[in-house]
Amino acid sequence: MSNHIKVFSPATVANVACGFDILGFAVDEPGDELRVSLSATKEVRVTSIECEGGRIPYNAEKNTASTSVIQMLKKLGSTQGIDIQITKKMPLGSGLGSSAASAAGSVFAVNKLLGEPFTRKELVAFAMEGERVACGIGHADNVAPALLGGFVLIRSYQPLDIITIPTTLNFVCLIVKPRGELLTSDSRKILEDKVYLKNMVVQTGNLAGLIVGLTQNDLDLVGRSMVDVVIEPQRAPLIPSFEVIRGIAKSCGAVGSSISGSGPSIVSIFSENSAATNAAKLISKSCDCEHIYITKVNYSGVREIDG
């Protein structure tokens, strides 16, 4: 058995408009790379971090990757030492599940090194503890799709009930990250506690339509259902370029657009790569964008890579 492993852990799009905290999917790029090794120290350590800005903590109790592993080892009753090297290949504070990618990648890697005592689905609970460190709430709509791939529904948190949505829908994602950062913790603070009944009816109808569209591989239905009348109206003002980006994407043929997770990234879905490419060119000319990705759904989740 090897004493080290290198993995790629994908970025994720949470909420998908109408599925706040309960729906997400993984994408092919961007993502994180982690190299994880067994050690004789009996400690979980973050030994190196490559990241723009250098703001990710080395402290094992505060880093999402190491915290998740600590919880996993506690469950096993193990004192196995673990060293984690993190290479962030995605922007922080982007709404693309940066903290989740590290948490999911680390528990997947350690699980592999220890002979896979847990299933991928069982690993989600440990990765959620990394999210709790990152933003104060242990939500699963990023870590679950990062680990499982594809589209994932969190039917319940108490008890945790995770469902992979059966779909092979093939579409192109245009992800635009405007310049600037929006922390999940800050983006959650502005949300109201109560929802009007009329909005609840619209939101649940859209969520049901989105899931049916996925299971029936109906891209038009998915696009029609990507409407958020609860969270997006509260968060959109935090993203000045949101309406411009969504408008350009729609004019180029996008079937749907939404804020990715807590923002500020915006995801639009297209049936053709050429339309997404055209939209990307127009958006880059009209808005101050830090990153633009044209990618597809990642149906495999975290995976081992060479290195």
Q: How far apart are CA 189 and CA 123, in angstroms?
A: 28
Of the given ranges (175-184, 271-280, 290-299), which has the lowest mean pLDDT? 175-184
pTM, to two decimals: 0.94
Q: How far apart are CA 223 and CA 203, in angstroms?
A: 14
Residue 110 pLDDT greater than 90, yes or no:
yes
Which three-class secondary structure state does DSSP give residue 35? Answer: strand
For residue 49, CA distances in Å to 34, 54, 127, 171, 305 come to: 9, 8, 19, 33, 18
Catalytic residue among 131, 167, 232, 295: 131
Share of the chain above pLDDT 70, in %: 99
pLDDT for the residue numbered 250: 97
pLDDT in tens, 17-75: 999 999 999 999 999 999 999 999 999 999 999 986 667 888 999 999 999 999 999 99
Active site includes 131?
A: yes
Residue 114 pLDDT grade (very low, low, confident, very high; cuts 50, 70, 90): very high
Share of the chain above pLDDT 90, in %: 85
Active site includes 52?
A: no
Sequence-distant (≥ 6) Cβ neighbours of residue 184 within 8 angstroms: 93, 95, 99, 134, 135, 261, 262
Residue 291 pLDDT grade (very low, low, confident, very high; cuts 50, 70, 90): very high
pLDDT in tens, 202-261: 999 999 999 999 999 999 999 999 999 999 999 999 998 999 999 999 999 999 999 999
The mean pLDDT of 287-294, rounded to a whole number, is 93
What's the mean pLDDT when you consider all of the chain?
94
pLDDT for the residue numbered 54: 63
The mean pLDDT of 69-98, rounded to a whole number, is 94
pLDDT for the residue numbered 108: 98
The structure tokens listed for 267 are: 């995801």
Catalytic residue among 12, 184, 232, 295: 184
- For residues 103 and 88, is the Cβ–Cβ distance under 8 A? no
pLDDT for the residue numbered 1: 60
pLDDT in tens, 137-195: 778 999 999 999 999 999 999 999 999 999 999 999 999 999 877 777 788 888 999 99
pLDDT for the residue numbered 134: 78
